[in-house]
Chains A and B, each alone.
Chain A
Amino acid sequence: MTTAAARRPPRGWRRPYGVGLGAGYLVFGWGATLGLAVLSGAVAVVLMLGVGAAAAAASLVTGWWALRTARAATIDTAPTATATEPSAMHLTVTTRRGRPMRRAAHVRVFDRGESIASGWLHRGRLDTDAVFTRRGEVTDLEVVVTAAGLPGLIWWQRTLRATHPALLVAPHPAGPGARVEVLAADQLMVDATAMSGAMSTAGDVDGIRRWREGDADHAVHWPTSFRTGELNVFDHQHTVIERWVVRADPTAADTEIEAGRARWALDDGRRHGRQMWAAVADGEAVLVADAAAAARWTATCQLPPPWPTTRRHWGNTAIPFWREPDTTLSTRARWVIALVAAVGLLMLSDALGHSLTVRLAITAGCAVGAALTLAAAVRPRLRLVVRIAAVAVAVGGVLSVLQSLGEVDDVLSAIRGPMPQLLIVLIVLQGFECHDRRGGRVTLAFSAVTAAYAAALRVDDAVVWWLAAFALLWFLAAVWIGLPARRSRRQGRPTAKASGRRIAGIAAAALTAAAAAVLILNTVEIPDGPADLGLPASVETIRDIIEPGSLARPDGTPTRPGATGDRPRRGGDGTVGVGGYPGFDESMDTSMRGEMGDTVVMRVRAPEPDFWRGQTYSRFDGRLWYADPQQGEQRSPSDIAVGPAAGDVPEPAGMEVDEFIQTYYLSVDHPNAVFAAYRPTRVLIESSVWLRPDGAIRSDRVLTDGTVYTVVSARARVTTDALRRQGDLAALMPVDPVGMQADYLAVPPSTTERTRALAAQLAAGSPSTYDTIRRMEAWIAANVQYDLDAPVPPPGTDAVDELLFGSQRGFCEQIASSLAIMLRTIGVPTRVATGYVPGVRDRITGVWEVRASDAHAWVEVWFPATGWQAFDPTAGVPLAGEFDRASVGAEVTQAVVDAVREHGPTLARLAGMVVVGAGLTWLIGRQVLRAWRRRRRGRWGVLQDRWLGAAAARGLDPGCSNPELARRWPTAAPGAADTAAEAAELAELLDRVAFDPSFTDDDAEFLRAAALAERVLGRR
């Protein structure tokens, strides 16, 4: 055996080797998810995109990092080998400190550019058969170490050089064909010393041996042949009957084969008792004494190389760049991939509201696919079963898709109908084909698309948990895909220390990836909605209303102006939720609030907050507000352009206008008011609508639970300055207003003098109307108490007067009315709008969650330059121009911060409990594990395991016997001589326990051993 360590080998650069097989599908999946993000504008999908990008980055970095320790390669082979025949090779890849490299890595060994051996390193070692492709003297071998990053997407490689002093690769004997010269002894001019030994015994008969092909007839020894019944011949060991010179032809077309022919000829001649000589062409001949010499000569003879030596470089390699070293998928990776697929599909299935049967079928399909592919990998006969099962799944899937096809009438229903079904069937089917790494990555990619699909469709809070579970499993699957299948226990068990380090590494990588994802997402703005493609929009159930065009209650019955006068003042018409809010009525009674409850009435996917306006009121009679009775014009679905309504300014001078897309997901039955942020320009809804002159939009049918519609609004970037610069609006108004201005300046006769006086007082000396409004708001905030249980104003009194000077308690409708009327008295056009405040943002799904109690009324003031502007004395108004859209990453960070702020103590308590619990579990588990081990292995067995574990941690091969380990125990530490002696003593003791039949266990002995172990192995 020849061992060759590289003499200070070049370190070799780490460079990318290629992407894992199937990574293209992951790129495709990322692209598809990007499409979904654009389609839906869901923040969750953008989150997935960010995590995916971070995983790719982590894969890139960790692969590079994994190879940092590979420094030197040592190769151990027999001194000679034959080309194209396997010969044993032991390869060790060591770190800078000379320890075996621990990281899972794949190696390929190259001899002059040809791959001769490959395999996975196990504890830095590879025992395999090398097949040299060409003859010659091998002085150095290229060892290419390849490792994937944690998510096994991208592979890195590092080239190490192992020099080898004396490996000769002889050609494969290539059969007859070499030129052979037969010479008599005197014809050959040779060195006398080389000949002397052979000459002395020439002609002697050395014995009898069996007949071999090629023996001459006259050599047969008949007496023995008759006696034994087999042909025997005289064996002329040193008989030089002929001397043969094999002349290798350097001009042969393939000199490799020519050398092989020469070797064959040399072996053949020697077998037949000839004295063999070898020469290149007509050069000087050398004596070839035996088989080894023939191998040596043919390995080193000077023949021109058979073809120009090619150097491997990027692009010129025989292995395509996307090829990864080994495509076997380990069992655990296959199962976790099945789990990922199942979770993704169940997420989608949950979003689509599938039945339990469908969900069970999906889970079973994934599990059966995994089990069958794993079994078929071992037993190829099962492939037929796999195919039959796949066909069955395909048939079932197609039937279910066909069944849902009947319900499809357009693209929109297809999105929720057969398309996801088709996706589900395809992924379950793919599970039956997923048996290698490529298949695994395909499944991961498609599962990510399903999860994104589900995240895009869903707006509920559960999405975050689904996504967290999915991401965790996905990451695990991606890690395991890049690792080799685990070796059998007999070949070495991983020590606890090593696996602990590995887990720590994975955790660190996951944390880094998460941080990177947040960083990446910090640069990504919250996406706009799906308006460009007009998706999604649907009206779940059709419930027509009795009087088309007029405002209807959720049950379809019309609301009549003024009909609420005799109703109870509290609780509206008795229905809780949307129906109970008087603001969604043709008229609004300011003395009523209604019982709103706390149910989520709708979710609005929008990048920024705004007031979701449903209705405006322009005429006030002292107690009731009335909407403009004109119905406006009717438009048919589904993409409806909305022009400017009364008072709207489509293009404010010197101001940017943003497109603001909102998608409304109604979760309770609503009236037929279509909510929109000011100022709507497009409505995507599956019903015809009335565009009313006051800017409100009404559907021709009740918008029931499950309805989805999208509104595109044009939002001018209004800022405080822009409003303030417009100065005193009253001064701009004509003295005698007509038309629209008259409507919005009308003051009811019941308005009291003290109201007017207060308004005038607050407006006096104010530089602009904006400041006047601010003053009025401040006065109201200081003097009026917000109170949902405010007393009902006595009949006949003016509601505004009662609020400002009477009870001085009230709610938003009353406060908004007061502000509107006060402004009208000083000549500023106003109206009251009702709808919802933005609600609470779910930062992971990027959806505003609007509850019934978020129903609100506010004031809209008309500014000539910018149009209607909302003001609210009780809630802050989000100004488009003063609101910077957050990035997705900031949203996630904010979500975490909010969660901590809101549930801080609870979380801390929970974390404390988890830590304490984990600590206790760890302590108890360790004790239980120790007890179990002691029970299973005995106390001496536990000691033996510790001994082996410590040996493995010191880089020793645990396949050695105890005394061997003791002899090799590292002695670099101070006081090592003692340690070595004590290690030997401990090893002997352990062996005595194991093998001495006369040994009886005794406590004193064990205590001695334990004390020794503590000194030698260190504390545990």
Chain B
Amino acid sequence: MALFSRTTTPTAPEPTAAPVAPGGSALPPPPAPVAYASPITQASSDQVARVADIGGALVASIESVLAGKREVAELAVACLFARGHLLIEDIPGVGKTLLAQVLSSAVGGTFHRIQGTVDLLPGDVTGTLMPEHDGTGQTLQMRFRPGPVFANVVVFDELNRTSPRTQSALLEAAEEGTVTVDGVTHRLPRPFFLVATQNPIDIAGTYRLGEGAVDRFAAVVSPGRASLDDEVAVLAGRRGRRQLRDIEPVVSLEALAHLQDTVENVAVPEAVARYVAHLLEATRSHQRVRLGASTRGGLAVVSLARARAAMVGRSYVVPDDVRAVAVAGLAHRVQVLDGDGSTTAGRSVVTDCLQRVRPPAV
């Protein structure tokens, strides 16, 4: 038994207890708790202006690398600000991973990439207990080796190719911001931003993400192919991976946490909340839908709308924000009768619902 006596990392979020990343470099300490104003206090215009500035800088960073994907870049940044996770659904080779890399560089955080395969196990993602000699060389101690999920920005490629077990382990980590191995909870670094990708074309041989699983992603985007000019820019080397090394961090991790708090304090008027509720109701009563969007979906839409509002320098949400993010926030949450596992049908349904429900006004 002594052979397997365990040392555990403390659960308290002290900076000193930060686990060691597989690469060997120490993870940045999680930020100290921020004393932010109570949620009912509206964010001040200065705070919001800062979100807008940094959001703009982040979007510009992404654009400098990824050609012609402004909308996707904005949604990704909004998702980051809203403390949500992003699901990118597209064919391979359109810059999904690059997008996540730019983001991590621009926020000055760590970046890990996991490739989903059928034999990937939960431990490969979260990390496992490894026997390790202690200093005396006498006994073996079980020591937690953090998995690739311990990073500020994690890209999980082809999420639907890995088994549901691994998917759920990852998503639990994403949702809770913690990893529990052998009864001990390890906290993930803050901020934590998960970008998962799935390929909608090659559905065969995949495990469809369950309803619960997709519900954990705040938004789904589908960047699509670049236009001809943008593609030329990439091929000629004006855009792409080469520009990645020129990306300077535009915001520190601590500041990012502050920004996320600011976004949380963006006011959502009653009428807009009601509008979102009507939208959810419309997806539920739509004739092509088997299962409409959940309340969590509504929450995701609201926080994305908050982020968007802050990014244009507004301290309150207007229906236009909701309409701008609704498709991204809800498309993966509606189960369409004749859907084939991709979110294309969901997009059309949400677009339809947006046309049916009248936005509030004065």
Contacts and interface: CB of A to CB of B under 8 A. Distances in A.
A964 interface: yes
B358 A490 contact: yes
A651 interface: no
Interface in B301-344: 314-320, 323, 338, 340
Given A88-B348, A996-B315, A996-B316, A289 B204 contact: yes
Give the residue among A129, A940, A997 with the most B Cβ atoms within 10 A. A997
A199 B352 CA distance: 42
Contacts of B204: 237-238, 289-290
B98 interface: no
Contacts of B105: none
B272 interface: yes
A957 B356 CA distance: 11
Interface stretch (A323-331, A789-797, A986-994, A1011-1019): A986-994
A912 interface: no
A961 B318 contact: yes
Given A1-B348, A86-B287, A129-B287, A993 B362 contact: yes
B359 interface: yes
B269 interface: yes
A87 B337 CA distance: 10
Contacts of B152: none
Contact of A991 (B203, B320, B355, B357): B320
A804 interface: no
A998 interface: yes
A327 B288 CA distance: 27
Nearest to B40: A997
B340 A997 contact: no
A943 B362 contact: yes
B1 interface: no
Nearest to A996: B316
A1008 to B, nearest CB: 15
A959 B357 CA distance: 7
B352 A88 contact: yes
A997 B269 contact: yes
A268 to B, nearest CB: 15
A294 B205 CA distance: 17
A291 B340 contact: yes
Given A961-B319, A962-B320, A994 B362 contact: yes
Contacts of A646: none
B348 A957 contact: no
A961 B359 contact: yes
B163 interface: yes
Nearest to A963: B320
A943 B345 CA distance: 38
A998 B203 CA distance: 49
Interface string A939-954: 0110110001000000
A266 to B, nearest CB: 13
Contact of B360 (A78, A86, A207, A994): A994
A158 B241 CA distance: 57
A963 B312 CA distance: 13
B118 interface: yes
Contact of B355 (A82, A238, A959): A959
Nearest to B360: A994
Contact of A963 (B272, B287, B318): B318
A292 interface: yes
Contacts of A1: 348, 351
Nearest to A237: B205
A995 B272 contact: yes
Nearest to A76: B348
Contact of A994 (B163, B318, B352, B355): B318
B319 A940 contact: no
Contact of B267 (A78, A289, A997): A997
Contacts of B163: 207
Contacts of A289: 204
Nearest to A275: B204
B143 to A, nearest CB: 30
A88 B288 CA distance: 8
Contact of A292 (B269, B288, B340, B355): B340
A963 B338 CA distance: 34
Contacts of A941: 362
B14 to A, nearest CB: 39
B42 A998 contact: yes
B318 A997 contact: no
Contacts of B359: 959-961
B48 to A, nearest CB: 11
A206 interface: yes
Contacts of A991: 318-320, 361
B338 A82 contact: yes
B303 to A, nearest CB: 16
Contacts of A997: 42, 267, 269, 316
A78 B361 contact: no
Nearest to A208: B163
A352 B360 CA distance: 59
Given A290-B204, A959-B355, A990 B316 contact: no
A930 B144 CA distance: 73
B285 to A, nearest CB: 13
A243 to B, nearest CB: 15
Nearest to A1: B348
Contacts of A490: 358
A971 to B, nearest CB: 19
Contacts of B345: 78
A737 interface: no
Interface string B130-172: 0000000000000000000000000000000001000000000
Contacts of B287: 86, 88, 129
Given A237-B204, A292-B340, A995-B272, A959 B358 contact: yes
B316 A206 contact: no
A938 B351 CA distance: 32
B205 A944 contact: no
Contacts of B12: none
B271 interface: yes
Given A78-B345, A962-B320, A997-B267, A207 B207 contact: yes
A451 B323 CA distance: 57
Contact of A995 (B271, B351, B356): B271
Nearest to B118: A206
A490 B356 CA distance: 9
Contacts of A129: 287
Interface in A954-974: 957-964
B316 A944 contact: no
A669 B154 CA distance: 110
B361 A290 contact: no
Most buried by A among B207, B287, B315, B316: B316
Contacts of A964: 320, 323
A856 to B, nearest CB: 76
B223 to A, nearest CB: 18
Given A78-B345, A959-B355, A944 B207 contact: no
A990 B361 contact: yes
Contacts of A938: 362
A960 B163 CA distance: 42
B336 to A, nearest CB: 10
Given A994-B271, A994-B318, 12 more contacts: A78-B345, A85-B338, A86-B287, A88-B288, A289-B204, A290-B340, A292-B340, A937-B362, A944-B362, A959-B357, A959-B358, A961-B361
Q: Which 6 A-B pairs have the closest CB atoms?
A: A237-B205, A944-B362, A961-B320, A991-B318, A963-B320, A961-B359
Interface of B: 42, 118, 163, 203-205, 207, 267, 269, 271-272, 287-288, 314-320, 323, 338, 340, 345, 348, 351-352, 355-362
Interface of A: 1, 78, 82, 85-88, 127, 129, 201, 206-207, 237-238, 289-292, 490, 937-938, 940-941, 943-944, 948, 957-964, 990-998
10 contacts: A1-B351, A88-B352, A291-B340, A943-B362, A959-B356, A962-B361, A990-B361, A991-B319, A995-B316, A997-B269
